[in-house]
Each structure stands twice: as structure tokens, then as C-alpha cells.
Amino acid sequence: MINRFYLEDYLSFDKVDLEFKSGLTVFTGASGAGKSILMSSILSLFGNSDAKPMISEVSIDNLKIDCEEYGVSLNEEFIIKQINTTKTRYLLNNQTISKKNLKEFCQIFSKHLHLKNVDDFQNNKIIDFLDFLAKKDDKNFENLLLNFKEKFKQLKELKQKLEKTNKDEQDLEELKEFAKFEIEKIKSIDPKVDEYDELKYIKDNLSKKDKIQDVLEKTQPFFNNIHQITSALKLLDKKSDFFDDCINELSNIFEQSKDDIANMDDINIEEVLDRIEKISNLQKRYGSIENALEHKKQKEIELEGYENILFEKAILEKNIKKFTILVDELSRELTEKRKNHIKTLENTINEYLQYLYLNGLKIELNEKDLDKNGKDEVYFSLNNTPLNKISSGEFNRIRLALLATKNKYECQNGGILFLDEIDANLSGKESESIARVLQELSEFYQIFAISHQPQLSATAHHHFLIQKEDNISTVKILNKKQRVQEISRMISGENITTQAIEFANELLG
């Protein structure tokens, strides 16, 4: 729940510092006092508004949230802050967070009900709730649902493969020719790993062939006079082993070089240069000879696959037919079991609607195209009128009844609920009915609402008055006596009557 809210420098508010408790909290005040401004600044900290105060902040605790990324631990306090200087910045536990990510994070534990929000009636959410009811009553339902989802996923993957196969089939000849071309291009060169370095070595030696021959001929006189050096060493009584070893090694090197040069006579330098160019082009195109050979291997596998494409297509079509029949059977089972619980949902919502002075809500399951939830589409109507054509007041009350129904069965705990214009333009009787439902919801949610009617204001656990004087708005929590005065004003206007005071005391009583 929110235990503290701080605001600084936003429109008509200089500074606000409020402490909140659990239960139902209402904000009241004369028109233009700043009620919507205050609510908007709170909602902005949850990513649900574009309010831009200089500084705003909420402290939240007692929520079953564990988010290591932002340092949020179970039941521990965390802080959301908004700062507006040159641009708007959001911080969660002093870590910067985008507005989008903040909104996604806050949706885990908060809900904002406003006229434009129809999320609660999204088909997948209602189907999920029907499945929740079915799981509670039927121990086999969860296995049925898991089996359907698994088979639907497999069917979807098979259809995607068939779609690709059909596309490949259309381009088959072109793909086959391209694969053959790629294979033949590498195959015709038939490159070997490290061949490029060997060719470069041969090319370098060919370019030095004449120079090597010339220098080897110039060293020949030295080898012709080796015996003179050997004789000199003997005459000096010096060992000649080291000299003999060195001369033998030099002789071997030079003889090997002469053999290499002799072998080069059979090498065509033009062929070597041409081969180097081809190998070099392959390396530029594929990165390395290893990559080129791997590419050739992959194209050979692709070509083999293209040859088998018609056979694979026949198998895919057979499996799709089999899985379609299986998924349809499972979908029909889901529909039947959901129909067993659609009445439970309808009856419970209508029970709450009786309190809200509405009746005649019908919920039906219609058939639609198959998706991951089956073939069921939930259709709501109020006295044969679809939800998109009923009044905003009726829609708000149905949404409130749906929320109460979900809480009745799911026993949600620790959430925060923001209500927008929940009792605007309602009669006293209708406002009193909404207050009664909100009292029940306040066992599960910490609720914040702007109230326009004395009935809801009197029901609230905490009542804050927003006033405006000299263009400066202020907020204060009201005690019992002050609440009587404010509720009396809501009943009779600025000229408070004795009857209004008596009625206010009666409501608070």
C-alpha cells in the first residue's frame, strides 16, 4: 500500500506531504479546488498520467513483490520518484526507469479504472478467469488446458513450416539453381586449407629464383677452397670438428636450394598467380577457406532438402490434419467446461449489480477462429445491449461488479486501486450502492477515489479535503466534525442547512 505521498510545485499546489493507510480513501472539495490535479500527480508515479510536477514521490510497502533488478524485496518498502527539470525522469529505489517499464512494473500491484480503460473485458482475461474457476472445481481441467496449449503450439509450428515449404516450393527451381551454382563455384576451385600460404611461398621463391642462382654460384669458390682452411687448422693444432659441422650444414642448405630451383623449372608462374587470385577471392567472399568449405557443405544439405521438399510437404499436411482434429476436440472440451462456469460468473456479477441497481447482464460464449485460448469469445450484454453502447455510469458499475467478482474467488491481496469519476452523475441511491461494493473491495485493495457524492465520502475510511485559496491548493485529512461539515456542503451546497447536517451525521453514523 501507499503509506506516503509527497508533491512539490505542480500547478496550484506548492507542497503536499500526505500519509495514507489501508482501506478506502476519498478526496473531496469544491469544483476547481484541484482534486483531479492531485489524483493525476499520484497516477503519474505509476505511469498512468502525464502530470509533470517539479518533484513527486510515493513510498509503498506490504506488497508481495520481489524484483531483484530494482532492489524490491517481499513486503519491504520501496520508493518511486518523479523529477522534472529539463526533462522528466522516473526513479525506482533511486534507479532510473523508463515510463513504459515503470507502468509495466506497477501493473503487477495497481489498477487504474477509468472510462477509456476496457482491459478488464478483454477476451483473454475473461477466458483466463473462467479457466481459473474451472481449475478450482475440476482437478482434470488443468491437464486438459495444458494438453490443448501444447497441441495448439505444435499445430502452429507445423503450419508455419508448411507455409515456408509452400514458399520454398514456389521458388524451388531458383533456389536449386542458386545452390548448385554456389556449390560448383567452390567445387571447381577445390581449395585446400593453408593452400594460400603455400602458394605465396612458391610465388616469393619464383620471384627470387635468378638472384638465388647468382648468389649460389658466387659461393662456389669458397667451397672449392675448404681444404685450405682444414689444412691451416691442422697445422695450428686446432680441432676442425666445429668447422666441418658448419660446412656440412651450409652445404646441405645450398644443395636443397639448388634442388628447389631445379624443381621450379617445371612450375608455371602464370598458373600460380591465377590460383592465388582464385583462392584470394574465396577468402574475401567467405572470410576464410574453412568458411568457404562449410558454406559448400551447407548448400549441399540445402540442395538435398530441396530435392525432398515434396515428400516433406506431404508429411506436414498429414500431420496438420491429424493435429487439427485433435486440437478441435480439445477445444470443444474446453468450451463445454467453460460453459459450466459461465453461469457462475454471470450470477455473481449480477448479485453485485443488484446492489448497484442494475440487472439483466448476460454473458455468452460465441465461437471464433482458433487461437491459443481455444475457439471461445466472451460476449457481454446488458438487457440485450452490447457494452460499447451502454452509458458510462452503467459500464463503470459493471466493471466494478466484475472486479468484485474476481476478488471474491481469487482473494487478491495487497493491491492499489485508483478510481476515476466512479460516482459522477449518479443518484444518491446508486452512489450508496457503489460505496457498499467499494467497502467490500477495500478488504483486498487500498482504494483512492475522487468522490462527488456524500454517500461514498461518508463510507470512506479516510477523508481528505482539497481547498483552493488565492490560487493555492492545499490538502488536509478531516476529523469526524470536519467530515460532517464537508459532507453537509456536498448535500446542500455552500449554504449548509440543518437538514444537511442531520443527513451527514446519519450517513457517517
Domain 1-109+414-477: CATH superfamily, name plus number: P-loop containing nucleotide triphosphate hydrolases (3.40.50.300)
Name every residue whose Cβ is closer than 8 Å to that of residue 168 and which is 6 or more positions away in sequence.
Answer: 175, 306, 309
What CA–CA distances, in Å, run from 67 to 104, 124, 437? 12, 26, 32
3-class DSSP state for residue 6? strand
Which CATH code is given to the segment(s) 118-162+313-411?
A: 1.20.1050.90
Instruction: Please give the mean pLDDT across all residues of the chain.
Output: 86
pTM over 0.75? The answer is: no
Res 39 pLDDT > 70: yes
Name every residue whose Cβ is closer than 8 Å to that of residue 156 and which is 6 or more positions away in sequence.
Answer: none
What CA–CA distances, in Å, run from 302 to 174, 182, 354? 13, 11, 67
pLDDT digits (tens, 9 = 90+) for 319-371: 999 999 999 999 999 999 999 899 999 999 998 898 888 889 999 999 999 99
Res 408 pLDDT > 70: yes
Start and end residues for every CATH 3.40.50.300 domain found in the chain: 1-109+414-477
Start and end residues for every CATH 1.20.1050.90 domain found in the chain: 118-162+313-411
pLDDT digits (tens, 9 = 90+) for 167-200: 777 777 777 788 888 889 888 888 888 888 888 8
Distance CA 215, CA 276 (A): 28
